[in-house]
Amino acid sequence: MTVPLLAASDIHKRFGHAHVLKGIDFAVYPAEICALIGDNGAGKSTLVKILSGAEKPTKGELSIAGKRVSFSSPGQAQQHGIATVYQDLALAPELTPSDNLFLGSEMLRPGLLGRFGILDRAEMRRRAAEQFARLGVKLRSAKVPVSSLSGGQRQSVAIARAAMWADKVIFMDEPTAALGVVQTERVLELIRQVKNAGISVVLISHNMPQVLEIADRIVVLRLGQNVAEFKAGEASVESLVAAMTSGVAKSGKDAQ
């Protein structure tokens, strides 16, 4: 059996009296696109935050390639090759795409200039262009501020940035929710490129046809529990909706 890149077992999360994750098991395997679906409030975003270091679980274990880990920040998860692209993007709108790729991880000039904190802009621009080319991202211009790009292009920059700093797993929470049809297709193509580059993607989406089009595996949550899992080709919009709305939890041991 393949060892998961990232695995979570018996994850619980309480916010005060609200028990929002009740013993979730989740794994990400090498070179896959895994969709994470469920109705509003099912716990998808909370689970992703836990798996990417933005929240701590109340109980439960995480492991990477079979070794126990715990993350106390998104930066720590990133050191393990894990990053998240959030709905609200978190790009710096006034900076160029290339600057955004290196935001917080700027490269310094070699030698004395670098020691004085002088940035190596030419090298960053070169590497950024390489990264966009590798993922097939075609920007209208690499020199304009990100705020002047379309929503789809901004999302592409955010994904390219995540793929620059994470080499194992990228979580994407509704990456196409705000996009039109054409831009959505481009972002889906980019997600496939990320997978081809050897990085696994966990995609949260409400768009069932999209999930069926792109995912290799589909994990369904309901009310903070695992309720179903499908392989690509074994699911339909009807079976996914049925699992999301009336799925019976696989394990009732932690249900309250």
Ligand X SMILES: Nc1ncnc2c1ncn2[C@@H]1O[C@H](COP(=O)(O)OP(=O)(O)O)[C@@H](O)[C@H]1O
Of the two residues 135 and 244, which places its CB atom closer to ligand X in the complex?
Answer: 244
- Which of 1, 18, 181, 182 touches ligand X (CB under 6 A)? 18
- Which of 1, 2, 40, 67 touches ligand X (CB under 6 A)? 40
- Judged by beta carbon distances under 5 to 8 A according to partner kind, the member of Mg ion, ligand X, none in contact with residue 40 is ligand X
For 230-243, letters b (16+ CB in 10 Å) and e give bebeebeeebbeeb
Q: Does 88 bind ligand X (CB under 6 A)?
A: no
Of the two residues 45 and 84, which places its CB atom closer to Mg ion in the complex?
Answer: 45
- Judged by beta carbon distances under 5 to 8 A according to partner kind, the member of ligand X, Mg ion, none in contact with residue 38 is ligand X
What residues does 83 pair with on adjacent strands?
A: 170
Of the two residues 139 and 215, which places its CB atom closer to ligand X in the complex?
Answer: 215
Supply φ then ψ for residue 212, to 5 degrees. Answer: -65, -30
Kind of pairing, strands 225-231 and 217-222? antiparallel
Within residues 43-72, the interface with ligand X by CB under 6 A covers 43-46
Least distance (Å) between residue 160 CB and ligand X: 24
252 token code pair: 């009732």
Cβ atoms < 10 Å from Cβ of 70: 11
Contact mark string toward Mg ion, 42..81, x via CB under 5 A: ---x------------------------------------
101 token code pair: 């790729």
Least distance (Å) between residue 32 CB and ligand X: 21
For residue 224, the number of C-alpha atoms closer than 13 Å in the C-beta half-sphere is 19
The piece of 23-31, 37-45, 126-134, 192-200 that touches ligand X (CB under 6 A) is: 37-45
Quote the CA–CA distance of 21 and 116 in Å, as a whole number.
48
For 123-160, letters b (16+ CB in 10 Å) and e give ebbebbeebbeebebebeeeeebbeebeebbbbbbbbb
- Judged by beta carbon distances under 5 to 8 A according to partner kind, the member of ligand X, Mg ion, none in contact with residue 46 is ligand X
Contacts of 206 (CB under 8 A, 6+ apart): 37, 174, 177
- Which stretches of the chain bind ligand X, using CB under 6 A? 15, 18, 20, 38, 40-46
Q: Which residues bind Mg ion (CB under 5 A)?
A: 45
